[in-house]
Amino acid sequence: MVKVRFAPSPTGFLHLGSARTALFNWLYARHAGGKFLLRVEDTDKTRSEKRFLDEILDDLKWMGLEWDDEPVFQSGRFDIYRKKAEGLLSEGKAFREGDAIIFTVGKSRQIEIDDIIHGKITFNTDEIKPQVMIKSDGSPAYNFCCVVDDAELGITHIIRGDDHLSNTPKQVLFYEALGLDLPKFAHIPLMMGQDGSKLSKRHGAVSVEEYRKEGFLPEALTNYLTLLGWNPGDDREILSREETIRLFALEDMSDVQAKFDTAKLKWINAEYIKALSAKELMPLVKKAFERSDCPFEAVPEEKALKIIDLYKVRVKTLSEFPALTECFFKDDYVIEEKGARKYLEVPDKVENVKIFAGKIREAKDFTAAELERLCRETAEEKGIKAGEIIHPTRMAVSGTTQGAGLFEMMEILGKEKVLERMDRE
């Protein structure tokens, strides 16, 4: 059975690059009908924090990357690592240096691995110094405890970033010294910023948590991360989780670095938002409003659903909803200064709004279709373009020059609220 693992260190939040590694491991396990295991590398007791671990686990669950079996914590396995190291020491394969136990590396030897993504890679042991297994403080060294754990967990494939490639020959030596079978290795090219440098905060948000708060959907984020290094063999960019699992293959992964493009991620996220119904989006949008000063509960659910349906095709992230729709939830919404000067401080345009308001006041129907008819009728009577009424009216009722269709907005706001705002300008 295929067994893979993701091994986060709880010394910080879940980085996008690490999330991508976890995703590829999870996809491979699900595609092969195997297991996706979690090993927590918390040997650094001074830097490891529970809050980081909780955040990492929560982010993985949010992304839909549920793991099989209980997580393994390295901090509770120090005795196992020491016993293994002392075994190699007694066999003459290691030596003591104070309280540390160090593995002896033979010289002038070629180590060759057949990487699933990169093909054959050769290393020379002349470039590898003696390897610490147990540090002088009693804690295990990274490469040694990883091998011990991966072997005991029965890991068949180690899928990780290219930044771990230099660790591979060192770990191969430990596998051999311990008499263990080698797993298969697949090193994923790193995810870079648009300028080709390592993805960092200067490129924008880099943790999964930041993207969650910004209003990205987990399905969109995982869809995009999957395409950074793999594709289904055609030009499709929107793929369901089920289809991705069915098609995914490590052998099809690219061996070149991928560039993270926030604009592309936003486009994919917008596509996922559009595909959801207003009812499905309701709890997500409501959560976005909790981080704003806009009272979502100020309107009935039926009206809120109409607002979401009207604007879901205009947002790229859920966090955009409050600012775009605040005029529906409160009267002290932000007024665009430039728009106000252009449309609400010009007598002729204000007069157009007043005339249109008079037509609306007399109308029996208050539907988008009827409002548009009245607007165009008013424009024709005055011998002006409909835009001369539409633009100042939009400013009057919403405080902005952009947004959804004016008449659809007015219908949702309701006749009383629309006339109140048109009359005060």
User: pLDDT, tens digit, for every residue of 231-251?
Assistant: 998 989 999 999 999 999 999
**DSSP 8-state code for residue 341:** I
Residue 425 has pLDDT above 60, yes or no: no
**CA-based torsion, 268, 271, 273, 279: positive or negative:** negative
Structure tokens at 342: 């252009």
The confidence band for 11, taking pLDDT boundaries of 50, 70 and 90, is very high
**Contact yes or no for 154/86 (Cβ under 8 A):** no
Residue 196 has pLDDT above 80, yes or no: no
The confidence band for 205, taking pLDDT boundaries of 50, 70 and 90, is low
The confidence band for 1, taking pLDDT boundaries of 50, 70 and 90, is very high
Residue 5 has pLDDT above 60, yes or no: yes
Mean pLDDT of the chain: 95
Interval 399-411 mean pLDDT? 94
Please calculate the CA angle 268-53-168 and round it to the nearest 5 degrees.
Answer: 80
**Contact yes or no for 187/118 (Cβ under 8 A):** yes
Rounded-to-5 percentages of helix, strand, coil across the chain: 55, 15, 35
**Contact yes or no for 219/27 (Cβ under 8 A):** no
Structure tokens at 308: 């979401």
d(CA 254, CA 235): 15
| Conformational region of residue 107, where left means phi above 0, alpha means psi within -120 to 50, and beta covers everything else | beta
pLDDT tens track for 66-88:
999 999 999 999 999 999 999 99
| Residue 79 CB contacts under 8 Å (≥ 6 apart), including other chains | none
Kind of pairing, strands 119-124 and 110-115? antiparallel
Reference 386, options 366, 403, 401, 406; nearest CA is 406
**DSSP 8-state code for residue 234:** S
**Contact yes or no for 75/44 (Cβ under 8 A):** no
Interval 247-256 mean pLDDT? 94
- pLDDT attached to residue 203: 56
Please calculate the CA angle 13-16-21 and round it to the nearest 5 degrees.
Answer: 105
- pLDDT attached to residue 331: 92
Which residue type does 304 have? A
The confidence band for 265, taking pLDDT boundaries of 50, 70 and 90, is very high
pLDDT tens track for 142-190:
999 999 999 999 999 999 999 999 999 999 999 999 999 999 999 999 9
d(CA 406, CA 371): 9
Interval 211-234 mean pLDDT? 95
Which residue type does 243 have? E
Residue 302 has pLDDT above 60, yes or no: yes
Please calculate the CA angle 2-234-119 and round it to the nearest 5 degrees.
Answer: 45
Helix axis angle, 406-413 relative to 387-398, nearest 10°?
Answer: 40
Give the phi and the psi of residue 112 in degrees, each rounded to 5: -120, 130
- pLDDT attached to residue 269: 98
Interval 225-230 mean pLDDT? 95
Please calculate the CA angle 301-306-310 and round it to the nearest 5 degrees.
Answer: 145
Which residues belong to the active site?
A: 201
**DSSP 8-state code for residue 71:** P
- pLDDT attached to residue 71: 97
Interval 315-341 mean pLDDT? 94
Interval 31-57 mean pLDDT? 96
**Contact yes or no for 395/305 (Cβ under 8 A):** no
Provide the CA 294 distance to its chain's centre, in angstroms: 25
CATH of domain 337-424: 1.10.10.350
Whole-Å CA distances, 122 to 105, 128, 169, 202, 369:
16, 13, 9, 35, 71
For the beta carbon of residue 394, count every other beta carbon within 10 angstroms: 25
pTM for this model (two decimals):
0.93
| Conformational region of residue 101, where left means phi above 0, alpha means psi within -120 to 50, and beta covers everything else | beta
Looking at domain 3-188, its CATH superfamily turns out to be HUPs (3.40.50.620)
